[in-house]
Amino acid sequence: MNINKMFEKDIARPIQGVVKIGQDSAEMIATELDEYVVTKELHRHFDKFFVGYNKGTKQRTDKIGVWISGFFGSGKSHFLKILSYLLGGDEYEHDGQLKKAIGFFDGKIGDNRVMADMQLASDTSADVILFNIDAEADSDSKSNKDPIVKVFMKVFNKMQGFCSTMPWVADLERQMVKDGVYDDFRKRFKELSGNEWEDARNDFYFEQDNIIGALADATRMSAEAALAWYNKAEDNYSLDINSFARRVREYIEAKEVKSGKKHFVMFLCDEVGQYVGSSGALMLNLQNIVEGLGNECGGRAWVIATGQEDIDSITKVNRDNFSKIIGRFDTRLSLSSANVDEVIKKRLLAKTDTARDVLRLLYSEKEADLKPHYLCRCRGYVFI
């Protein structure tokens, strides 16, 4: 039998050796979901996560922190990506059919209760923000890292389509959306500049006249007020955790008013443990973000973070702060590499029915030849 025809999946298909957080195509996501192997360990983690999450969808809670730990190769980043697909509720085309991410788990989850919890979460309205914190931060060195709240604000602005590089511009855009004049401003800016606002806003300091003119024509600002804002916007901008949490709450409430149903915002932050390192200040910043979102949004905004080490191992702060940080991450999931062989067998080595029958017959004929008849001595141990 030709080896190409032995396996269920095309052996020439592209397979990511290392999972990366990025802008994958819908086709790649569908393949990833189809080939994702749910081991017994992952089954337990799905159960624990969705039980906690669904409690938050039914009642107010401040237990919105999830910490996923596991060393390189344990699958924590992959697990985080899969959670993002399940929570997002988007549809993907596979084998000529459109189905939600949860549809790829039929037959993979053996417990009906767990599957029902996952289905409930998938049907819940949510914006999912998946990002690698180190890639999104503007830090210029390992010792000069952005406060975590700044990175969270950046990805939150980006998710809404606002300027991610200049948060004071994003604040202006947010206010224009509230006032219902953002589209008028964008239209007027294009008339003056010849460029789309989204393409030109990063050239903020080279578009002064066009920005001021569009603000004066499309908003309630006078030309003098627009000029004053332009000259002082960066200097006047400030961000703290309370204002960040308030902006998230206001966004959620606006979505709920528009849709008439409960809405959630999910921050899925990969490799935050590596970013924090041994910095007690960064760890406290993360804890305060979780606390602020929990208090302000009451369970409608979640933070799911990954790190190579368990949160207990990287929290090098005083005892009082340690207990606060641990308490904020109420759901903790620890992944191991123990089931790698199971993943390989199911994802890469799964055979067709015909191939299995042929191999059984071949093995019965060659069994005697395949049995090991030699000893290998290595470092004082004997392997048969």
What confidence tens digit (pLDDT) does each residue in 40-79 have? 899 999 999 999 999 888 889 999 999 999 887 788 999 9
User: Interior CA angle at 138 toward 285 and 185, to 5°?
Assistant: 100
Average pLDDT in the 296-312 region?
87
**pLDDT tens by residue, 324-342:** 666 788 899 999 865 555 5
Q: What is the maximum alpha-carbon separation in the chain?
A: 92
Please tell me the predicted confidence (pLDDT) of residue 233. 94
pLDDT at 340 (0 to 100): 58
155 to 28, 37, 163: CA distances (angstroms): 23, 29, 10
Burial profile 14-47: b = 16 or more Cβ within 10 angstroms, e = fewer: eeeeebebeebeeeebbbbbebbbbbebbeebbb
Compare 210 and 6 and report the one with higher pLDDT: 210
Whether 88 contacts 126, CB under 8 Å: yes
Q: Mean of the pLDDT values across residues 221-239?
A: 95
State residue 364's pLDDT score. 73
Confidence class of residue 84 from pLDDT cuts 50, 70 and 90? very high
Average pLDDT for 75-102? 92
* 3-class secondary structure, 90: coil
CA angle 161, 167, 169 (to 5 degrees): 75
Q: Identity (one letter) of the amino acid at 222?
A: S
Our separate counts of H helices and E strands in the chain read 18, 9
Residue 373: band (very low, low, confident or very high) from pLDDT cuts 50, 70, 90: very low
**322: pLDDT confidence band, cut at 50, 70 and 90?**
low
Band of the pLDDT at 376, cuts 50, 70, 90? Answer: very low
The pair of three-digit structure tokens given for residue 4, joined into one six-digit string: 């190409």
Q: Which CATH number fits domain 3-181+219-334: 3.40.50.10950, 3.10.105.10, 3.40.50.12640, 3.40.50.300?
A: 3.40.50.300
8 A C-beta contact, residue 215 and residue 185:
yes
pLDDT for the residue 374: 41
CA distances to 274, 289, 322 from 284, in Å: 15, 9, 9
Rounded to whole angstroms, the Cα distance separating 281 from 190 reads 43
Q: Does residue 273 contact residue 69 with C-beta atoms inside 8 Å?
A: yes
Query: Higher-confidence residue: 170 or 315?
Result: 170
pTM of the model: 0.83
**Percentage above 70 pLDDT, the chain:** 78
